[in-house]
Structure 1
């Protein structure tokens, strides 16, 4: 826990250590109790020498210590908590970041349903450790398309300051309403387009929300002459259910591949109008009117379209 002073080294060595001031005290990290602590050799300051990281085992506390290697002697360089939470996420590992960016990755996981993860990316610069960013992975166990949200949150926080000052806190993961724009959302699509249409017509918004779901659907089933009507129907029912951004996403893909598909433009205009994006809605309606006139179908244009364009 952030506000709990860590006294394990005091008990082990009889030393008084501040949470903020680090005197690089000489110590043998291997003297920690292996039943309560994980002890790993990792280069924490990226000088090419293996150092030591010691942290509490799951459900045994939340302590974290970095010891740097100076001529094969080890000195305390960081003392804090390992981002474990009571009744929540627990630290499960620490290792060099996979992107070869000279950063450490502290991995925490949630042991309950969904098996979520938070990875804390730590860099070392000018003898200071910084929490650069957190990467949150949220799995939706009951989502029909296997939804997984991956959100990278910039932090840029001096760890020493974070551990010593109660008024410093981490930036949080975006809310679910913001994730379609701010996060990467992955899906494993197994349902058909018709299954999606039925879902949109009958089920709650949470089962068919986010534009990235439809990006995954279109990636699996490319829009073709054979299925463009199904996609148009899907977009139509999305608009009728008030899922405007999802409807617009599908329709823009339709008109990109089929720029002369007249019905898509009136549906796009309706969805944009529902989203209160009136100028873009009028543009879509104007294209619809133009195509209808070219086909000699001006008399079939709904009066509402002319009314909206004239506003």
Structure 2
């Protein structure tokens, strides 16, 4: 018998001896990952995460599963072992202390070493299950999120939203967010995480994408202006105050080698226009991140005070004192330059009421 055929038969034989996750669990102890694992774990399946669901009642189990041999075999202690370890998802419906296996999906995540998967997580909140996957090299990785909503009629969780973000080896960051119609045929119990992003038959009904290199203000401004107007309401999904801070803190600037402050004379106009764009689209916290830095670097730039005062005004009455302070600074700077006639009447009217 050829050696290759011998090993194939050996692998198949050992695989047949392995035991899959149990179909029914009666839990006597309190519900916890450790207690559930006592009943769930086998030589080929190990509980990794447990998350409780209320709609419907039950638990989601993220598990690691041996592809061929069992985890006690020396193969799984070797360098190659993780490549043959799948990471899947199961749901056990709860009735009292009994938990019945409703589905298992061996392809809900990547394999342990596939695409250098670094992190994975499942979370259930009300009727929505979110799946998170982080993969790729540490410096230029990507993160993906899938959101499935429970459909009582079908008794399945259906794909409703998806997002992904990351950077490439040239330092360009990109983010994308999509929503899906209720006729999409993608369900939590049988979707394939590795192929879903590349499946051209799965079509979203709403989408927004943004790509930029941190520190390149002009490019970010162009990208923002290229977003279709009917998609701007989705902007917080791809750019918010946290990504704004990342953009400003991680950009490399040839004119500022130490990168102590990324705002300077050559990009301050773009930075201010980005803030104005964000304020006009009601992304107030992100706009303030830019305006704070502009004012810090250029404390006599009057338009920045006007824009930041508008941000505070839009935030509501609790921020009116901050708005008043910035409007008064703006007026003083305009008076100093002899530009009183250009002060908007709305500003003077607001100040007269304070």
- Please tell me the TM-score bracket, short chain as reference: 0.3 to 0.5
With normalisation by structure 1, the TM-score equals: 0.47
